[in-house]
Each structure stands twice: as structure tokens, then as C-alpha cells.
């Protein structure tokens, strides 16, 4: 039922787009069929897959690194008050540093390289992950820490069995917001200093004033991100958080 509702909602958006494009300049806002035709053409030439693949690779690499760095920083700040007092301001500073500044500085420091591109996005997105994880760690239930201490659980047992399950909602929030923001920043990175990727293609077709192709590339990546959400993130979230729906049965048992 939810899928039907989501499809109907998207259909409504499509109709709205059609309606607005009908009364606009088609060069500025082409109708959906023109964008679809551009998409099919790009798929036919193989260009779409090449550039989509390049962008996806950068998203995975940059977000993976940002995730690892952000989780380590977030857990450290959340658990160790001294570190939090000293370094929380660093995190908020980097959180508010414009992505463009980080990208330009990385390109200047390391040259127009793949490493600089990925590093820039990592530096820009790690603070967001860190903030989410730190908030999650600060909401840990102290009774589980007391249990772990009372039973002498090892550090790895605590991380695996107590910390990660409590962090799950925050990790999923960080995953969602982080992924959606990462790919947008990646486009800027590609637009400024790469010769492949969706951002590069958008820049190219901007110069040619072909808005239909620009929208085709943007739409294709939105579809990829939606597929990741529906085929990977949601099923995983549903699986790891299945225990949250427990409870009603308990009332019936003695």
C-alpha cells in the first residue's frame, strides 16, 4: 500500500512538472518526455553508465571514509568528556566550513587529483557523521554500561553488543543524510576539477545550454540513490531494528 501511495505521489509530481513546463520556456524547463529522450540517448551511447559509475565510485569512497572518521570522532567525543570539551568546537567549525572552500583548498594543496576530490568530500562530511554519532553516544542507557561493568564484558563485547545496537537509529540517520549530501558535494567537486562524473557532464551541458541532458543526468542519479535507499538501507534497517516491535506478545505470556 505504501509503495502504491509513493508511486501515485511521484506521478503527481510528474504531472506538475508537465504542467509547469507547458507554460514555460522549454529550453529552460523541458517537459518530462524530452528529458526521458535525452536519458535514452545517453544510455544508448554508454556515456551515462561511465559517468554515473565514476560519480558512484567517488560517493562510495568519500562517504565510506567520512563514515569511518566520523564514527571514531563521534564515539570519542561522546564517551570522553575531556575530548568533547576540547574538540567539539573543532567539529562545529568544520561542520560550518563551506564545502566549496574545502574543495578549493584540497585541489590547491594536492592538485586536481582523485585523491584531492575524495579527501575534500571526506573532510566536509565527516563532521556531520560525528555530530550524529556523538548525539547517539550521549543518549546511551547507563543501565547497560553498569551491566557491562558488573559482568566484566570486554571492550569488543561492549562495542558489538551494547554500543552499536544503541547507535543504530543515529547511524541510519547519518547514513541517509550523509549519502544524500555527499553526492551533491561530489557534483561540485566534479564540476570544478574532474573530467568525468555526473557533475562534469552537468557542467559540460550547461555550457551547451542543453537542460534536458542536465536533468537526465540529475534524474538518473536520484534513481540510483532511491534504489540504494529501497533495496539496501531500508531492508537493512528493518532487519537490525526488528526487536523494536517486540512487546505486545509479552503481555499475553506468563
Partner 1 sequence: MFKDGVVTVSWPNCKFDGKEVLQSGQLALHPGCSVVSGDSGIGKTTMLRAIAQNNSKIRSVLVFQEPTLLPWLTLEENLALVSKEHEVAIKWLDSFGLYNCLGLRPGQMSLGMQRRAAIVRGLIAKPDVLLLDEPSASLDQLNIDRLLDCLVEIIHSRSIPILLVSHQIDHFERLKAKQFYLGGSPAFIRVV
- The residue within the footprint of partner 1, chosen from 24, 92, 157, 180 (CB under 8 A), is 157
Return the residue of 18, 147, 206, 230 that touches partner 1, per CB under 8 A: 147
Contact pick of 146, 159, 226, 227 for partner 1 (by CB under 8 A): 146
Q: How many residues bind partner 1 (CB under 8 A)?
A: 20
CA distance 87 to 84: 5
DSSP result, 43-103:
HHHTHHHHHHHHHHHHHHHHHHHHHHHHHHHHHHHHH-HHHHHHHHHHHHHHHHS-HHHHH
153 binds partner 1 (CB under 8 A): yes
Q: Does 34 bind partner 1 (CB under 8 A)?
A: no
Q: Which three cell numbers, joined as nine digits, stand for 233?
A: 538501507
Of the two residues 121 and 137, which places its CB atom closer to partner 1 in the complex?
137
| Strand locations in 82-235 (E) | none
CA distances from 234 to 128, 140, 165, 198, 231 (A): 21, 23, 16, 25, 7
The neighbour count for residue 236, using CB atoms within 10 Å, is 13
Cα–Cα dist 131/70, whole Å:
8
Q: Which is nearer to partner 1, 111 or 165 (CB)?
A: 165
Q: Does 161 bind partner 1 (CB under 8 A)?
A: yes
Cβ contact 196:190 at 8 Å: yes
CA 224, CA 85: separation in Å to the nearest integer?
Answer: 40
Closest CA to 167 of 121, 208, 133: 133
With CB under 8 A as the contact rule, the residue among 6, 165, 222, 231 that binds partner 1 is: 165
Single out the residue of 49, 69, 66 nearest to residue 186, CA to CA.
66
Q: How far is the CB of 216 from partner 1 (least distance, A)?
A: 43
| 98 touches partner 1 (CB under 8 A) | no
Cell of 107: 585541489
Residues 103, 121: Cα–Cα separation, whole Å: 7
For partner 1, the binding residue among 46, 82, 151, 195 (CB under 8 A) is 151
Binder to partner 1 among 45, 89, 150, 195 (CB under 8 A)?
150
Query: Can residue 237 be called a binding residue for partner 1 (CB under 8 A)?
Result: no
The least CB distance from residue 249 to partner 1, in Å, is 5
Q: Which is nearer to partner 1, 195 or 248 (CB)?
A: 248
- Residues 126-145 binding partner 1 (CB under 8 A) are 143-144
Q: Say whether residue 195 binds partner 1 (CB under 8 A).
A: no
| Nearest distance in Å: CB 158, partner 1 | 10
| 155 binds partner 1, rule: CB under 8 A | no
Q: Which three cell numbers stand for residue 12?
A: 503527481
Residues in contact with partner 1 by CB under 8 A are: 143-144, 146-147, 150-151, 153, 157, 161-162, 165, 240, 243, 246-247, 249-251, 253-254
Amino acid at each position: 500500500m505504501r509503495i502504491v501511495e509513493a508511486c501515485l505521489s511521484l506521478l503527481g509530481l510528474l504531472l506538475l512538472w508537465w504542467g509547469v513546463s507547458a507554460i514555460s520556456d522549454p529550453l529552460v524547463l523541458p517537459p518530462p518526455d524530452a528529458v526521458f529522450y535525452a536519458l535514452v540517448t545517453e544510455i544508448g551511447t554508454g556515456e551515462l553508465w561511465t559517468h554515473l559509475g565514476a560519480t558512484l565510485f567517488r560517493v562510495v569512497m568519500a562517504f565510506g571514509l567520512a563514515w569511518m572518521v566520523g564514527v571514531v570522532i563521534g564515539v570519542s567525543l561522546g564517551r570522553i568528556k575531556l575530548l568533547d570539551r576540547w574538540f567539539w568546537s573543532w567539529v562545529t567549525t568544520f561542520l560550518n566550513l563551506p564545502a566549496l572552500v574545502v574543495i578549493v583548498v584540497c585541489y590547491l594543496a594536492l592538485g586536481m587529483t582523485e585523491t584531492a576530490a575524495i579527501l575534500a568530500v571526506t573532510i566536509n562530511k565527516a563532521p556531520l557523521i560525528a555530530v550524529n554519532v556523538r548525539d547517539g553516544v550521549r543518549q546511551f542507557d547507563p543501565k547497560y554500561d553498569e551491566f557491562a561493568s558488573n559482568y566484566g564484558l570486554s571492550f569488543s563485547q561492549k562495542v558489538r553488543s551494547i554500543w552499536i545496537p544503541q547507535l543504530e537509529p543515529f547511524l541510519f540517520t547519518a547514513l541517509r543524510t550523509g549519502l544524500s549530501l555527499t553526492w551533491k558535494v561530489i557534483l561540485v567537486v566534479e564540476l570544478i576539477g574532474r573530467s568525468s562524473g555526473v557533475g562534469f557532464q552537468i557542467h559540460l551541458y550547461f555550457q551547451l545550454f542543453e537542460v534536458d541532458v542536465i536533468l537526465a543526468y540529475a534524474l538518473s542519479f536520484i534513481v540510483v540513490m532511491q534504489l540504494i535507499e529501497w533495496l539496501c538501507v531500508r531492508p537493512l534497517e528493518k532487519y537490525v531494528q526488528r526487536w523494536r516491535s517486540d512487546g505486545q506478545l509479552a503481555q499475553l505470556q506468563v
